Homo-oligomer: A and B are copies of this chain.
Amino acid sequence: MIRASVIGASGYVGQELIRLLHNHPQVEIGSITSTSAVGERYDKSYGNYKSIYEKPFEKQDIQKIAEESDVVFLALPHGVASHMITEEILSKTKVIDMGADYRLKDVDIYEQWYHTKHLSPDLIEKSIYGLCEIKKDEIKEYSLVANPGCYTTCSILTLAPLMTQSAFDTDSIVIDAKSGITGAGRSLDVSTHYTECNESIKAYKVAAHRHTPEIEEQLGAVAGKQIRLIFTPHLTPMNRGILATCYIKLKEDLTEEKIREFYLEYYKDSEFVRILSEGNLPETRWVKGSNYCDIGLKLDKRTNTLVAIGAIDNLMKGAAGQGVQNMNIIFGINENTGLEDIPIFPV
């Protein structure tokens, strides 16, 4: 059994981790922590856990938890993990950081987009960007995994297969993404007050969202060159799900069929990526509660533009599901263990 602990278990990502870890056949949950609710039973925060998992939150004693755990998940605001993790801790346990601190390899870009000083830049090189479908073979070598962002996961998976194809104009990329409101977390804010976001859609943080450099850095790594793109997130009145509608111009003639083949080939060993057949487009409802990323393609010959659309569950493949997938890879068990359930519908 893998003993897994969760630092920061009171938010939605932490909770989704607890749910998956509890259901996981090869995991036992160690400690769960929260700075604000020490001693409080978990089912008080989340009524769904009643009679199932009622342990109290512990203090955030990272040293003790590292010693007692095989893996520690961090679900913390940015800037907190980089303050907490040290080489010593990494010598004792594996760390999967659900936050942003180790996602960007370029510390300058991190500091510029996050407006804060990085506190352990030396650890960045010792971490791996845990987008499983792209880094699968490397992940198991690392003790520190930077679990990708939700928009990022969806956008990268949707565009990566094109990055090595010279037919596509990588200067023309537009990503227009739509997220459910769990993406904004459990903290109270007027923008996520029910009657302020229900029955309305809006863009936010246009040209300023922090997942932008993460997408650029990773797609750039696949492409082998610098990528600059425009990314626009939208807040959509639904609990879960991300849909990323991606636009890229073609410089050469290609058929949609040929492009679909690139995708099928690229993801032939990735069971969580489902490439939809011609005429089918992803919908967030079909991936909800699951670790799948569905991708649909439509080539517009009039404008020579490929529209590639990806859909994920932001709390699953976009956060906790991928975290567990990373854990499975690290511990050498089947990648899909504890993640095989059919998506639940309608929900």
Q: Is A141 an interface residue (CB 8 A)?
A: no
* A234-B245 in contact (CB<8A): yes
Task: State whether B195 touches A182 (Cβ < 8 A).
Answer: yes
A53 — nearest CB in chain B belongs to which residue?
B342
Residue pair A48, B290 in contact (C-beta under 8 Å)? yes
A115 proximal to B (CB < 8 A): no
Residue among B15, B234, B240, B280 making CB contact with A178, cutoff 8 Å: B234
Given the known interface contacts A192-B193, A206-B307, A281-B203, the answer about A346 and B241 at a Cβ–Cβ threshold of 8 Å is no
Contact A343 B48 (CB under 8 A): yes
Q: Which of A89-97, A154-162, A294-302 is the contact stretch?
A: A294-302
Q: Is A198 an interface residue (CB 8 A)?
A: yes
Copies of this polypeptide in the complex: 4
Cross-chain contact of A207 among B51, B241, B298, B311 (Cβ < 8 A): B298
Given contacts A48-B343, A193-B194, A289-B344, contact A283 B206 (CB under 8 A): no
A288 at the interface (CB under 8 A from B): yes
Interface status of A309 (Cβ within 8 A of chain B): yes
Interface size class of A (residues with CB under 8 A): 35 or more
Q: Which residues of B contact A47 (CB under 8 A)?
A: 280, 283, 285-286, 294
Are B300 and A230 neighbours in the complex by a CB distance under 8 Å?
yes
Is A64 on the interface with B (CB-CB < 8 A)?
A: no
The interface residues of chain B lying within 8 Å CB-to-CB of A334 are none
Q: A234-B243, A234-B245, A303-B228 are in contact. Are A202 and B50 (CB under 8 A)?
A: no
CB–CB B240/A237 < 8 A = no
Min C-beta distance of A13 to chain B, whole Å: 12
A234 to B197 Cα, complex, angstroms: 18
> Contact between B194 and A197 (Cβ–Cβ < 8 Å)?
yes
**Whole-angstrom CA separation of A239 from B197 in the bound complex:** 10
- Interface mask (A6-41 → B, CB under 8 Å = 1, otherwise 0): 000000100100110011000000000000000000
* Interface check A282, CB cutoff 8 A: yes
Say yes or no: is A52 at the interface (Cβ < 8 Å to chain B): yes
A305 interface hit (Cβ, 8 Å)? yes
- Interface set, chain A 172-219, CB cutoff 8 A to B: 172, 174, 176, 178, 180-182, 186, 188-190, 192-204, 206-207
The 10 residue pairs across chains A and B that have the minimum distance between CB atoms: A200-B285, A207-B300, A47-B286, A202-B283, A48-B343, A176-B176, A206-B298, A195-B346, A188-B188, A199-B238
